[in-house]
Chain A
């Protein structure tokens, strides 16, 4: 399977994502933001980081960069797009995903392990996944997902909420909400479920020596689904 990771000026999880994708068998290419064409890919990843220094708003300038039109075209034709952390912020800025990511409720950067409950596994990202509660890692200052009531209703009606922050037992409550996100939302899909944006970083959890390895489950499953 071919994947592409887009590098924006200020991306800083691009290498981590490259390492993870290759570890699980993707043939990954790195794509510079100023290119106008994407290599042939089964998956496009917008990695975490501080694209354009988070100037103006997180993800806003990247959302207007040269390569983005190709990403939008790719997504609209049904291609699989994954945005992690800053990648998620960029996807909301392009309009491919609904809502916005506001500053964390405690107005502090948060770096820690969290649990997320997979809410919808009828899609290429989570189909057949072995576990429905994953321990992943967050590292962000603006991960507090917000959308209008109408948008929330349509996300819920159309089963577009990908994952919720939860406790280790899978219970979704205020206590397990790290950043004040509406309804504990950790990630969402577009209507067709070929675009996933989420704040947690699976690529940082791919080895038992690291903070955990539930990220491996995510990548292994994704590759299986694409084959």
Chain B
């Protein structure tokens, strides 16, 4: 087939991009070459709209061993131990085929982690669905949860935390972001940079089929009514093969045979071979007849663009082929020498003795387009003036019931009970806490991790929203007693060719960056997902932040469970009473305007560090950060977790009980303290100039407000845990 502009456009390239390809090559590419260009130059692989802005991110820190640019980021957690972690989106395929889309998302991110030599020790996920009233939501939720569980459970890596959010802006584009943490010896990390000429290039893992061809292009496109027709572009996962691949790779990594290793993710063999060669400034020669194929008569074009799962590309030391093959034979996996590194600096493909492609690698990697797309700043919305009349008709108990059973607040137990969260025998904080925590196997250390997003805040004011998500991740780690170390980000946005969406992206990044720098909480890995748009309607800007922190002695893990009755409950940080953009304003007052709560980074850092000090001195019995739903929801969740009640003292400082209890002011925590320790806690707080209020005291069962018993903890538990089960039944 003769390549022309129309075929290029069908491949997702723009006419001017096609012209650039012809100019660079000084000829018209053949179809295989065009396929390779389209895969490498699409948004998903080239980051052409985002690269310029991602460069601004704060990626350095004392504990950062590897920042963005590798398969995953790496941080130092002491004693030669390092944590490899990354979050990645699998949004587009999950909407089309929720089970396989979500499953292969989990498979892909785990491969990114074990490619670096790390054994995965924990999975997390952040999933966003449309309105709970939307006809597709239930099926999508069920499919995604089954897919995530189906893959992670089979591999035997615990899913320790997550986040689920419903909002109508995701009606046509759900989000599935999967994150994995792995453990590696910091002196035995494997990278994707090839080195040396004439080194064998090895293909291992599953056979190549026709599934997922153009998956990366599909992930760079907006959706229309015919999106269901794209089902064949969704990859099919096989966690069993991945488990074998994991064990085989780790076995091979125990000696020094591997020069470079790269998993075949988006754009399969194309991007993996080009990335390894590009990083090593080498050429690569592949003989596509040697690629193990699962289907007959596959063409070079199909072989290069297939996104079949559970495959890896390895550059080996010469002479290590036989010993390496033995390991893959033992695990019943394909192993084929398919090419070698060269000094040509080109990718050269052969098929049935013919040269079928020859392209300089720099055209595909470094010279891929990079755009400075026009973008528009979002103005800070005017504050909403609530009047006492707005609250007059409300009944406090009804409000509590509605709030605690709100889909974005209620317990997600229906979801996480379907994930194996205890396999590997090191999970010490299971899902449902502020962060998941796993022990570093065989040591006293533990690693905490959480995922967060706040699309409503980011939508209202992207810069503030960006800062807020980073702070939220920080707070979640602090709440379990972990010292926050670094983050990974998954940037889910609409169409970058629209200046409003591009502006949201740019300003969220600026916000993320400001908080990340101030808190010394660098970004070490991440991914960008644009074009989350259906029929001209984009999602709310949704940067998802995955945070990782360290607990030096796992016995000092802090939880949010109220421990016993008659202890004091304190709110740390100042409550201003801002309701704008809160769940309360949205759900109870039907008010969706206004700015998100302000972020004061000084307070954020100071309050968090003070909480860590209180935990370290063993003065806190339980800790929970205040987030969606404010103090009331925060305190009730602590009641439910510990099966205790609370008697709220009469509040003094604000005019309105709703503003006090439901505002989502930032930088706050709730802590439970033994009465005898109040003086000590008070003196630490005062010394650090941290504002606090005495909120109340724990009770056996009753929730008491203004001296009036309201609900018992059993009733609240029923509201909190019941909603999702009922919705899904």
Contacts and interface: CB of A to CB of B under 8 A. Distances in A.
A9 interface: yes
Contacts of B427: 210-211
Contact of B419 (A55, A111, A201, A204): A111
B557 interface: yes
B370 to A, nearest CB: 42
Interface string B398-418: 000000000000000000111
Contact of A210 (B150, B155, B422): B422
Contacts of A10: 154, 240, 243-244
Interface in A173-210: 201, 203-204, 206, 209-210
A50 B557 contact: no
Contacts of B146: 108-109
A204 B438 CA distance: 13
A139 interface: yes
Given A12-B156, A109-B153, A209-B554, A203 B243 contact: no
A163 interface: no
Nearest to B428: A209
B68 interface: no
A23 B423 CA distance: 17
Contacts of A55: 240
A52 B428 CA distance: 29
A9 B154 CA distance: 11
Interface in A8-63: 9-10, 12-13, 15-16, 19-20, 34, 48-50, 52-55
A137 interface: yes
Contacts of A137: 422
B332 to A, nearest CB: 7
Contacts of A210: 422, 425-428
Contact of B156 (A9, A49, A52, A141): A49
Nearest to B247: A9
Contact of B418 (A13, A48, A52, A108): A108
B439 interface: yes
Contacts of B554: 209
A112 interface: yes
B144 to A, nearest CB: 13
B428 A12 contact: no
Contacts of B422: 111, 137, 139, 201, 204, 210-211
A54 B150 CA distance: 11
Most buried by A among B150, B238, B240: B240
Nearest to A209: B428
A110 B418 contact: yes
A9 B244 contact: yes
Contacts of B302: none
Contact of A209 (B155, B239, B241, B439): B439
Contacts of A203: 425
A80 B363 CA distance: 64
Contacts of A112: 417
Given A109-B419, A111-B418, A54 B425 contact: no
Q: What's the interface size class on B, roughly?
A: 20 to 34
A55 B155 CA distance: 14
A108 B728 CA distance: 12
B149 interface: yes
Interface string B546-562: 00000000110100000
Contacts of B419: 109, 111
B423 A9 contact: no
Contacts of B418: 108-111
Contacts of A206: 425
A142 to B, nearest CB: 12
Nearest to A52: B240
Contact of B423 (A13, A34, A52, A54): A13
B517 interface: no
Nearest to B439: A209
Interface in B232-276: 238-241, 243-244
Contact of A53 (B238, B331, B416, B424): B238
A15 B330 CA distance: 19
A20 B426 CA distance: 12
A108 B724 CA distance: 15
A50 B243 CA distance: 10
Contacts of B332: 9
Contacts of B241: 53
Contacts of A141: 153
Given A109-B149, A139-B423, A211-B422, A13 B238 contact: no
A13 B555 contact: no
Given A109-B153, A209-B428, A12 B243 contact: yes
B238 A16 contact: no
Contacts of A109: 146, 149-150, 153, 418-420
A136 to B, nearest CB: 11
Given A52-B240, A209-B439, A16 B153 contact: no
A175 to B, nearest CB: 15
B430 interface: yes
Nearest to B421: A111
Contact of B420 (A34, A54, A111, A211): A111
B184 to A, nearest CB: 17
A29 B241 CA distance: 25
A111 B238 CA distance: 21
Contacts of A50: 153-154, 156, 239-240, 243
A209 B439 CA distance: 10
Contacts of B155: 12
Nearest to B425: A16
Contacts of A9: 240, 243-244, 331-332
Contacts of A48: 423
Interface string A81-119: 000000000000000000000000000111110000000
Interface in A116-134: none
Nearest to A113: B422
A16 B424 contact: yes
A15 B424 contact: yes
B154 A139 contact: no
B420 A139 contact: yes
Contact of A111 (B154, B417, B439): B417
A62 to B, nearest CB: 12
A203 B243 CA distance: 21
A55 B330 CA distance: 19
A44 to B, nearest CB: 20
Nearest to B418: A109
A197 B264 CA distance: 40
B238 A139 contact: no
Contacts of A13: 156, 423
A187 to B, nearest CB: 18
A34 B555 CA distance: 40
Most buried by A among B153, B416, B427: B153
Contacts of B156: 12-13, 49-50
A210 B422 CA distance: 8
B154 to A, nearest CB: 4
A211 B426 CA distance: 10
B198 to A, nearest CB: 34
Contact of A139 (B150, B153, B240, B426): B153
Most buried by B among A19, A49, A139: A139
A137 B423 CA distance: 10
A19 B425 contact: yes
Given A109-B418, A111-B417, A12 B240 contact: no
Interface string B328-342: 001110000000000
Interface of B: 146, 149-150, 153-156, 238-241, 243-244, 330-332, 416-428, 430, 439, 554-555, 557
Given A9-B240, A54-B240, A139-B420, 19 more contacts: A10-B244, A12-B155, A13-B156, A15-B424, A16-B424, A20-B425, A50-B243, A53-B240, A53-B243, A109-B149, A111-B417, A111-B421, A137-B422, A204-B423, A204-B425, A206-B425, A209-B557, A210-B428, A211-B422
6 contacts: A10-B154, A13-B156, A111-B416, A209-B557, A210-B422, A211-B427
